[in-house]
């Protein structure tokens, strides 16, 4: 089992963010459970707007390896960064802002990692959002220590409409890799009991993560 401890800071809409989280992942089958508890979090932002990517910058990391494609945790030799840039739009493509999630990961032991995550940006859209069922992230080798990819994701609202999002993600293995990088794809599935509680400022996110060849 792989374990990642998170410390969250930064701000969205000039409102402070302060929290701690934990992700536990079974690298044999890809099942993971993640949770975050915030002491401070902006009421004007719902983590579902980011496709729950406050944790998804690392859901991929401990995914089950298929077709001999290694996961992120097995690729790093010690430290790496995971950065997600998300642009938001109304259904008619009116811009709603941009949020950047920067994570710096440190290997403490074979299966124990620590992450410092900084959030920044603005969001002017709706907050009555539903956590999506998941997404596919293709990742291409851009140099010997970097993987980069992008995808689009529609986020449903409780009233039946939606907002549109575009995600750009980059992993950089700052201390090198255990083997040469290859083009791959991360498939993330969230369970139906995933939940954001804005009153208690808690995010609960169970799911499955798989690393595979690009489809």
Q: pLDDT category, 105, cuts 50, 70, 90?
A: very high
**DSSP character for 157?**
B
Of 135, 145, 47, give the one whose Cα is nearest residue 99: 47
Of 62, 16, 66, 31, give the one whose Cα is nearest residue 207: 31
Domains defined along the chain, listed by start: 2-212 (2.40.155.10)
The lowest-confidence range among 24-28, 52-56, 125-129 is 52-56
Q: pLDDT category, 63, cuts 50, 70, 90?
A: confident
Query: What is the Cα–Cα distance from 139 to 148, expressed in whole angstroms?
Result: 5
Tally the C-alpha atoms within 13 A of residue 83's C-alpha that lie toward its C-beta. 12
Give the predicted TM-score (pTM) of the model: 0.95
pLDDT, tens only, 162-215: 999 999 999 999 999 999 999 999 999 999 999 999 999 999 999 999 999 987
Which pLDDT score is estimated for 210?
A: 93
Query: What is the Cα–Cα distance from 177 to 89, expressed in whole angstroms?
Result: 36
Which pLDDT score is estimated for 140?
A: 98
Is 90 exceeded by the pLDDT of residue 62? no
């Amino acid at each position: 089992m792989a374990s990642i401890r998170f410390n969250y800071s930064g701000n969205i809409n000039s409102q402070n963010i302060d929290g701690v989280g934990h992700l536990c992942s079974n690298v044999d089958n890809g099942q993971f459970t993640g949770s975050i508890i915030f002491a401070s979090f902006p009421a004007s932002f719902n983590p579902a707007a980011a496709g729950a990517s406050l944790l998804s910058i690392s859901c991929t990391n401990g995914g089950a390896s298929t077709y001999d494609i290694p996961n992120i945790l097995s690729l790093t030799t010690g430290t790496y960064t995971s950065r997600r840039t998300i642009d938001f739009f109304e259904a008619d493509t009116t811009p709603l802002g941009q949020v950047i999630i920067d994570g710096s990961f440190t290997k403490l032991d074979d299966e124990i990692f620590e992450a410092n995550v900084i959030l920044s940006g603005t969001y002017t859209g709706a907050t009555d959002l539903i956590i999506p069922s998941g997404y596919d992230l293709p990742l291409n080798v851009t140099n010997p220590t970097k993987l980069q990819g992008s995808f689009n994701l529609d986020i449903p609202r409780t009233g039946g409409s939606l907002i549109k999002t575009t995600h750009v993600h980059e992993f950089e293995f700052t201390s090198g890799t255990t083997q040469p990088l290859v083009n791959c794809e991360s498939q993330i599935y969230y369970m139906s009991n995933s939940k954001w509680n804005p009153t208690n400022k808690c995010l609960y996110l169970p799911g499955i993560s798989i690393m595979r060849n690009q489809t």
